[in-house]
């Protein structure tokens, strides 16, 4: 069996047809040739873009000269009502300052400090699933669990907290408005150009930011009073930029909390849901992980024993990278293989296509967690694997995610068995790679007999 993959569009389509397909799903709007091409050029009356699969081009954009390829506002514009001026959207000196303040909270030693909250969220997920056995859509379950991790590690509150629950529910409503599919996604223009957001997009974003402001202001008061818990929010809010000595204001922190929730919750939920589906497809791997899971406990050191779970989660991120495409903009004319890209051209890096590239990976569409121990797997991991981006703009929570994912797989597989149903999920991409009509699995107690 081959894990599900969206259909590709015909080689040649009209611009109108392409825009219609793009609005339905970013992945199936692309031609099949991108799984083999080193680069592809797309021309429209509004913009010119270059999708780069050549590892050397990817390295140039992300690692060698990232300042020459800042983030494009084509995708970011749709997220600004929610994310404001967060680290996910900024460029240049503003972005560098934000990372200098944020990065220390996610250093290796801090992972040990957050592990207890992460483990507690995992145990809570096990109890919720025990009360919800049978045939279910796993995506809402992984979304609930990932949101719980964010609130416990960021603000030391569980998802059951009234404000946390309200943020989670409003965020789900915000996703349904498809915020990135606004005018700026198709027609680039100056910042003052109207974006024509749906009313629901603006309203849900405002609701979420109001709730986050309440949490952030409360934490600022606790810091002032000396009663704040030692969690990620406190660490970030009390860290001064080492170059300027200035800390985040409450308003700036609201922007950052919004992206922590979006990136840390939505991407983890996507990756976990697909990982459970893959394990249901390959029950022998499920049994291997269940046996390995006996070694994990509330001690952070036990996570190092989850080698198979880590390889499976890494493979899920390869096949279903939560962020399927990243868009950069050329600050000056650029030679892109045999093409001359003009200043302002969009440079698209697609983890979705790079991770399944037929000229790079052995068995690119197959599920094979053992690949990471092969020469091909090691080479591709270095040069063609970017689920968290790469270079200076690599996701600051990458290490966090690589603890959270294997841990949740272990805790849930130790207790439950996951089986396929007759519903085959179809991957689609909006904010992240999700399934068109959910990921339905049959869940039962592993040791029911």
Contact 89, 76 (CB under 8 A): yes
Q: What are the CA-CA distances from residue 261 to residues 25, 50, 164, 393 (Å)?
A: 23, 30, 11, 18
Token couple for 153: 């590690």
Is 395 marked as a binding-site residue? yes
CB 245 within 8 A of CB 257: no
Tokens encoding 156: 């030391």
Give dist(CA 401, CA 396) in Å, integer.
10
d(CA 302, CA 414): 15
Closest CA to 446 of 406, 420, 416, 409: 416
Binding site as annotated, residues for heme: 395
**Which segments are annotated as binding site?**
395
């Amino acid at each position: 069996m081959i894990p599900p993959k969206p259909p590709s569009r015909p080689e040649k389509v009209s611009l109108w047809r392409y825009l219609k397909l793009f609005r339905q799903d970013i992945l199936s709007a692309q031609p099949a040739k991108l799984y083999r091409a080193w680069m592809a050029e797309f021309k429209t009356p509004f913009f010119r873009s270059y999708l780069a699969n050549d590892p050397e081009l990817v390295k140039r954009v992300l690692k060698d000269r990232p300042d020459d390829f800042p983030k494009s506002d084509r995708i970011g514009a749709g997220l600004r009502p929610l994310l404001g001026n967060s680290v996910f959207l900024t460029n240049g000196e503003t972005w560098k300052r934000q990372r200098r303040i944020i990065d220390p909270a996610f250093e290796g030693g801090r992972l040990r400090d957050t592990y207890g909250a992460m483990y507690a969220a995992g145990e809570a997920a096990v109890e919720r699933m025990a009360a919800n056995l049978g045939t279910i859509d796993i995506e809402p379950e992984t979304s609930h669990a990932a949101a719980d991790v964010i609130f416990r590690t960021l603000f030391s509150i569980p998802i059951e907290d009234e404000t946390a629950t309200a943020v989670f529910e409003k965020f789900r409503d915000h996703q349904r408005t498809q915020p990135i599919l606004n005018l700026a996604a198709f027609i680039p223009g100056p910042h003052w150009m109207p974006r024509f957001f749906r009313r629901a997009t603006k309203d849900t974003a405002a609701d979420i930011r109001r709730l986050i402001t309440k949490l952030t202001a409360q934490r600022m008061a606790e810091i002032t009073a000396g009663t704040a818990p030692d969690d990620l929010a406190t660490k970030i809010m009390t860290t001064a930029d080492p170059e300027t000595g200035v800390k985040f204001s409450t308003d700036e922190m609201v922007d950052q909390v919004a992206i922590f929730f979006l990136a840390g919750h939505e991407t983890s939920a996507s990756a976990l849901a697909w990982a459970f589906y893959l394990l249901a497809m390959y029950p022998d791997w499920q049994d291997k992980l269940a046996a390995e899971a006996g070694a994990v406990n509330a001690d952070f050191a036990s996570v190092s024993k989850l080698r198979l779970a880590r390889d499976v989660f890494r493979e899920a991120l390869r096949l279903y990278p939560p962020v399927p495409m990243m868009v950069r903009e050329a600050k000056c004319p650029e030679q892109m293989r045999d093409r001359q890209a003009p200043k302002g051209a969009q440079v698209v890096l697609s983890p979705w296509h790079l991770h399944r590239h037929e000229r790079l990976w052995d068995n690119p569409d197959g599920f094979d967690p053992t690949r990471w121990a092969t020469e091909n797997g090691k080479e591709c991991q270095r040069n063609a694997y970017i689920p968290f981006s790469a270079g200076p703009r690599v996701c600051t929570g990458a290490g966090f995610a690589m603890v959270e994912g294997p841990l949740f797989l272990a805790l849930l597989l130790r207790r439950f068995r996951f089986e396929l149903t007759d519903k085959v999920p179809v991957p689609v991409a909006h904010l992240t790679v999700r399934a068109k009509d959910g990921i339905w699995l049959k869940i039962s107690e592993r040791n029911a007999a």
